[in-house]
Amino acid sequence: MHELSIALSIVDLVTTEALANGASSVSRVEIGLGNHSGVIREALEFAMEEAVKSTLLEHAVIEYVSIEAQSCCQECGLNFTPEGLYLPCPDCGNPMPELIHGKELIVKSIDIETTK
Amino acid sequence: MCGTCGCGEDSHIIYRKPGAPEKGHLHYHVHPHEHDGSEHEHGHHHHHDHDHVHSHEDEHVHSEHAHSHHPAHHDHSHETSTIRLERNIMAKNDMMAERNRGYFEALNITVLNLVSSPGSGKTSVLERTLKELAGSLDAFVIEGDQQTMLDAERIKAAGAPVIQINTGNGCHLDALMVNKAVKQLEPKKGSYLFIENVGNLVCPSLFDLGESKRVVIISVTEGADKPSKYPTMFETAQLCLINKSDLLPYVDFSIEEVKEHALRINPKLSFIVVSARSGEGFELWYDWLKGLRNA
């Protein structure tokens, strides 16, 4: 449900950057979505279809790159790919290893068209 | 575009104090049908319920229909360039939340973001709190619901200044809504501001409002495994109120089990068992609230 406001934030952010770079349109947007970002990709795709209408992004190809979860244990220093959320460190049993990747919700890059 | 339902209007969000007349734009509007131009070959002007964003496309259809935007027909050339951004999509909300936080800190206002599923008793907990603490602390309330002034009326009756945010179809409050509401509510220096979020255990967890603490409320009529099913809300909260304890004899709900589920997600979470109906546990809740001042 919150994906539409996130889609609008994406359009907002990309439009600001595109205009600042003199773009006449945006042809590609690359979005990075962490596995544990709290956003459902299908819902975001659906929301984006509506959000881009009548904007510089209207004809842009939207690419979604998923970002795998990665944890780091602050106790023993182990870096590992967690098999699920909220699991203890597989090595030392620390109940709260830090999730260092997987929460991302970012615009990685955009392709803009400028008219010469 | 409206951020709640995606229609052409800017916003459906309504801020209103109990008893105040409704102001701002009309929110029960008609959604216009889609205009892609092709279905409108005749040359008359369309009458719409409100201005909408497709108007200039209509003009194209009337005047320049034969002119297609094929690159080959143009003398000028397009150049494509890639810009690396790596920008956080939530940055705008997070920045506004930090602005709110700075404002609250400067005025020494303690802000609680109350989140839960619908029906777990957020408003009832607030009502009792406001009535019982009326003499000992200044409290202000922001109520978030999709529709109605019902909660704001209850809070007003409990004696606290309140503003209702109706999000329309929106499933959460965001930092900008709180920023706007606070400007109308004008909470006093040194007061407590309770923000009752939209009843929803999923979406509000992503949106920082600028609160001092986040309080998640679960009631004993819900499943004890809820923290594992909806982890983000329990992960981001500092306190969990387990409400409706007066019903414990009648339901299969284990306090220990819910704590176990929640602590697996957030080992730092504190718990207080309360009943908004009987008042059980409220002294501990009040101690916790007052303790935020000394921290």
pLDDT tens digit sequence for B136-170? 999 999 999 999 999 999 999 999 999 999 988 78
How far, in Å, are B157, B244, B248 from residue B275 at the CA level?
20, 4, 10
Q: Indicate the number of domains in chain A.
A: 1
Distance (Å) from the alpha carbon of B231 to chain A's nearest alpha carbon = 9
Mean pLDDT within B66-70: 44
From B3, B93, B231, residue closest to A86, measured CB to CB: B231
Q: Do B264 and A110 touch (CB under 8 A)?
A: no
User: B80-93, pLDDT tens digit by residue?
Assistant: 999 999 999 998 89
Of B29 and B116, the one with more pLDDT? B116
Q: Do B76 and A116 touch (CB under 8 A)?
A: yes
CB distance B8 to B52 below 8 Å: yes
User: B91-109, pLDDT tens digit by residue?
Assistant: 889 999 999 999 999 999 9
CA distance B257 to B220: 11
Task: Look up the pTM and report it.
Answer: 0.78
Confidence check: pLDDT of B16 > 80? yes
H-helix or E-strand spanning residue B162: strand B162-166
Residues of chain A with Cβ-Cβ distance to B265 below 8 Å are 85-86
ipTM of the modeled complex: 0.84
Binding-site residues on chain B for chain A (CB distance < 8 A): 1, 3-6, 53-54, 57, 76-93, 170-172, 174, 200, 202-203, 205-207, 231-232, 235, 264-265, 267
Mean pLDDT within B261-286: 96
Handedness of CA B288, B291, B292, B295 (dihedral sign): negative
Confidence check: pLDDT of B12 > 80? no
pLDDT of residue B23: 53
Q: Where are the alpha helices (DSSP H) in B25-161?
A: 55-63, 91-106, 122-132, 150-157
Q: Do B81 and A114 touch (CB under 8 A)?
A: yes
Q: Which amino acid is at B70?
A: H
Mean pLDDT within B231-246: 95
H-helix or E-strand spanning residue B110: strand B110-116
Structure tokens at B99: 């602005």
User: A50-70, pLDDT tens digit by residue?
Assistant: 999 999 999 999 999 999 999
Q: Nearest-CA residue of chain A relative to B92?
A: A9
Residues of chain B with Cβ-Cβ distance to A50 below 8 Å are 1, 6
How far, in Å, are A11, B114, B175, B207 from residue B94 at the CA level?
17, 18, 8, 8
* CA angle (B94 as vertex; B93, B96 as ends), nearest 5: 65
Q: How confident is the model at residue B63 (pLDDT cuts 50, 70, 90)?
A: very low
Average pLDDT, chain B: 83
Location of structure tokens 């190809």? A61
Confidence check: pLDDT of B3 > 90? no
Q: What counts of helices (H) and strands (E) characterise chain A?
A: 2, 6
Mean pLDDT within B240-250: 97
pLDDT of residue B52: 41
Residues of chain A with Cβ-Cβ distance to B174 below 8 Å are 5
Using DSSP bridges, classify how beta strands A79-80 and A70-72 pair: parallel, antiparallel or unpaired: antiparallel
CATH number at residue A26: 3.30.2320.80
Successive 10-residue mean pLDDT values, chain A, 116 residues: 87 96 96 89 93 96 95 93 85 89 94 90
Distance (Å) from the alpha carbon of A58 to chain B's nearest alpha carbon = 12
Mean pLDDT within B46-62: 40
From A4, A107, A111, residue closest to B3, measured CB to CB: A4
pLDDT of residue B77: 75
Range of the domain at A103: 2-113
